[in-house]
Structure 1
Amino acid sequence: MKTQSPPATTQTKVLRRVTVTALAAALLAGAAVAAPAVAAADSSAAVPKAAVGQDRQELQKATQAFVDAGFLGVQVRVHDERGEWAGSAGVRKLGQSAKPSTNGSFWAGSIVKPVTATVVLQLVAEGKIGLDAPVAGYLPELGLDRRITARMLLQHTSGLFNYTGDFDPNGTYVPGISAAGKEWLDNRFRSYRPEELVRLALSKSARFAPGTDQIYTNTNYTLALLLIEKVTDSSYTEELRRRILRPLKMRGTMVAGNRTQLPGPHAHGYYRYEDADQQKVVDISRQNLSLLTGAGDLISTTQDLATFFSALNGGKLLPAKLLAEMRTPHPKMGYGLGLFVQDLGPDCGTVYQHNGSPPHGFGAFMYSSPDGKTTLTASVTWVDEATRGPAKDYKKLVDRLVQEVFCGGQTAD
């Protein structure tokens, strides 16, 4: 998806839409840091014995390439017909030499969207939500346009304003809650309630009439959270635990809520900005992601993401009909109901994927084959910039990994 950029004077106030191309444009190469060579199996990361000692040089090189391009650290996990491989490269923290754990925790950002969508679709299967019924019928107190359906929320076709900033149809940038620059940095521990975020979005004009276009918008998934809570009379967090995390034994995954600290071993992300003509670098590993409630507030590990995505695409979480609905892409963005659908060409086929990033310092991605038997999950850290300068190599680096895992290293068409 091609996204617009705000004028230079407002660029530091917009949270990027996290699609494949949007994240590629947003992630920075960061500071060049001397890093150890990639490690192919961290004994502390609970990697199955089958993975220990595997000589997967092609995966090692593709992982190390992120650090060679300027990223601070990266951890990668692959499940395929050869078993499981986990590797990391770079450093866990600036000024130290220790490499990232191969199963450390990280802010997974928008990777929570497929999880949220899965819960909504489970409720559709149970008859508690109508996929094409007006959301206003479930949440009348919000005054939503009655044309907006649950399908439109999950598919980003509702037309709702993105509460972290968006564009008018004429291209004029309209600010929302600051998610960049010094203003975000100074307020990164502030807590937000989902109703607060949604009401801010609803106070702005719609981007387009419901169902007539597609624009990636966090508001859709915060509304989906409220929908889940309303029809279950339970918290979003408890529904995720009950329906997905506990059954799949995803012990390293949680909804961040107001939590500001990553649990256990984790790599650090950073933010660099200019203050009084001086460059300053701040460790932003601690931040409050209630700013992206239901849309980007997940803490996870590469192992847990692989477990979830394998189960989802393997048909263990949704009836076949609803999984097919989820994986049917809208033509504009190639986005279905919580998933990107990506064609790798005639020799590689289709993969399902989603990327994610909190406002700064961390990024993650997960990919799966249609049967869920092959997965790629990863997290990267870097030194972010106030100006959100382009990371020219990011998409190329991700594509290289995807090609190694799903195409045997050959270049996709």
Structure 2
Amino acid sequence: MTATTVLAVLALPATVSAAPRHHTDRSGLQAQLGRVVDAGAVGALAEVRDEHGVWRGVGGTAETDSMRPVPTAGKFRAGSITKTFVATVALQLVDEGQLRLDDTVEHWLPGVVPNGEHITVKQLLNHTSGLYDYARTLQMPPSPKFLEGRLRTWTAAELVQRAVAEPPTSEVPGTAYKYSNTNYILIGQIIEKATGQSYADEIKRRVIRPLHLHETSLPGTSPRIAGPHPHGYVPILQDGALHLVDYTEMNPSMFGASGEIISTTRDLNRFFDGLLGGRLLPDHLLDEMKTPGVDKGRYGLGLAWHDTKCGVPVYGNDGDAVAYQSWSFSTEDGRRQATIALTPDFTGDLDDAVDAFLDEAFCGR
């Protein structure tokens, strides 16, 4: 996830509304979604799928200066959930024999990464490469300079160069987990070398089209979010005080293969249903995806997991695209799924409230 500075800024009132309920009372879900907004979000939207059908809910507002509700089927920047799409394509290439998990970075990208002959594709995918996270070298909120680069186009090579200019976080690749967006920028480049096509085109061909994810896109350098969407904000220091600044439009090349995807709650639930249901990968590679890179870890090959309060493990990923945050998880059998996205107002820590919403989705009746 992209590192941001969470600071107290202008507090916003929370208003909550719900989409029509299906088959059963979902007041618990709507109440928890309202608590997410109260904990520090301008707006939030969610979709839950279970044995009772499909529930969609929204809370808060789509913009800070308006009472316009969050669109129930609104689009948002899904951040690091992109990594699961990228990892899926990489593993499909493994299945086809075009790529191997023990291939080295040096093999595919000679001279690009110091010590690249000792860093494997698998270590990039499970964040044990030891490569520094390029995101930590960029200007971030609340610095006003952060806004100066909102429309700048970054190349993958530029981002990697910023990372390798810093010392590695681990001297021996494969021995320690350290989340780094640099890993997936490199995986994107390797996919392009292996296929002759961009990682974005391969995701469209191999994942988006087969699963009919009609509202999911990889915008490249386009700053706009096409279609209904909530606005996203960042806290910026201006005239000696912190203010929320609209950051909906920005050049997503800053994220690239580590986090550029735009999607919806419906599409992300459909994606993880297809992935965990075996429609995208054979069982042995899906098992690889679920295997942590380090002992007792909770991150495999582009896939994360955690236990709910009722002890049910759920698989998926979460994403931080600076002005948008999202979580998408599913039970292993796919019987229950939940995706929630929000636009933070940076007044507090949202993790506990989001965890409570997911617990309600996976453990409630």
By the TM > 0.5 criterion, same fold? yes
Is it true that 1:319 corresponds to 2:282 in the alignment? Answer: yes
Query: Residue 28 of structure 1 contacts residue 383 of structure 1 at CA under 8 Å; is this kept in 2?
Result: no
Which of 361, 365, 373 is the equivalent residue of 2:323?
A: 361
Moved over 6 A (4+): none
Counterpart residue type for residue 203 of structure 2:
L
Counterpart residue type for residue 158 of structure 1:
S
> How many correspondences in the alignment?
361
- 1:128, distance to aligned residue in structure 2 (A): 0.7
Is it true that 1:336 corresponds to 2:323 in the alignment? Answer: no
TM score, norm. by length of structure 1: 0.83
Computed over aligned residues only, the root mean square deviation of the Cα atoms, in angstroms, reads: 2.0
In structure 1, the partner of 2:16 is 37
Q: Do the aligned partners of residues 94 and 300 (structure 1) sit closer, same or farther apart at CA in structure 2, a change above 3 Å counting? A: same
Query: Residue 71 of structure 1 contacts residue 382 of structure 1 at CA under 8 Å; is this kept in 2?
Result: yes
* Alignment of structure 1 residues 393-404 onto 2, 5 Å: 394-404=350-360
Q: What is the CA–CA distance in structure 1 between the aligned matches of 2:72 and 2:247, rounded to whole Å? A: 21
- 1:16, distance to aligned residue in structure 2 (A): 1.7
Query: Residue 22 of structure 2 contacts residue 52 of structure 2 at CA under 8 Å; is this kept in 1?
Result: no
- 1:272, distance to aligned residue in structure 2 (A): 3.0
Is it true that 1:16 corresponds to 2:3 in the alignment? Answer: yes
Render the CA deviation track for 1:87-124: whole Å, top value 9, x for unaligned.
Answer: 00110111211210111011111110111110100101
Query: Residue 59 of structure 2 contacts residue 69 of structure 2 at CA under 8 Å; is this kept in 1?
Result: yes
Q: What is the CA–CA distance in structure 2 between the aligned matches of 1:112 and 1:192, rounded to whole Å? A: 17
Which of 288, 292, 296 is the equivalent residue of 2:259?
A: 296
Q: What is the CA–CA distance in structure 2 between the aligned matches of 1:54 and 1:94, rounded to whole Å? A: 32
Q: What is the CA–CA distance in structure 1 between the aligned matches of 2:40 and 2:101, rounded to whole Å? A: 44
Counterpart residue type for residue 323 of structure 2:
G
- What are structure 2's unaligned runs of at least 5 residues? none
Which of 126, 129, 132 is the equivalent residue of 1:155?
A: 126
- 1:339, distance to aligned residue in structure 2 (A): 1.3
- What are structure 1's unaligned runs of at least 5 residues? 1-13, 18-25, 42-50, 166-175
Query: Residue 105 of structure 2 contacts residue 117 of structure 2 at CA under 8 Å; is this kept in 1?
Result: yes
Q: Do the aligned partners of residues 249 and 288 (structure 1) sit closer, same or farther apart at CA in structure 2, a change above 3 Å counting? A: same
In structure 2, the partner of 1:55 is 25
- 1:382, distance to aligned residue in structure 2 (A): 2.4
In structure 2, the partner of 1:227 is 190
Structure 1 counterpart SS, 2:55: strand
Query: Residue 270 of structure 1 contacts residue 383 of structure 1 at CA under 8 Å; is this kept in 2?
Result: yes
Structure 2 counterpart SS, 1:398: helix
Render the CA deviation track for 1:11-66: whole Å, top value 9, x for unaligned.
Answer: xxx9429xxxxxxxx6667643334332233xxxxxxxxx5575311111111111
Q: What is the CA–CA distance in structure 1 between the aligned matches of 2:320 and 2:77, rounded to whole Å? A: 7
Bigger drift between 152-161 and 129-138 goes to: 129-138
Counterpart residue type for residue 400 of structure 1:
A
Q: What is the CA–CA distance in structure 2 between the aligned matches of 1:280 and 1:199, rounded to whole Å? A: 32
Q: Do the aligned partners of residues 29 and 363 (structure 1) sit closer, same or farther apart at CA in structure 2, a change above 3 Å counting? A: farther
Q: Do the aligned partners of residues 30 and 371 (structure 1) sit closer, same or farther apart at CA in structure 2, a change above 3 Å counting? A: farther
Q: What is the CA–CA distance in structure 2 between the aligned matches of 1:142 and 1:34, rounded to whole Å? A: 49
Render the CA deviation track for 1:227-268: whole Å, top value 9, x for unaligned.
Answer: 100000011111011000011111111112111111111101
- 1:163, distance to aligned residue in structure 2 (A): 1.0
In structure 2, the partner of 1:193 is 155
Bigger drift between 319-328 and 264-273 goes to: 264-273
- 1:289, distance to aligned residue in structure 2 (A): 1.6
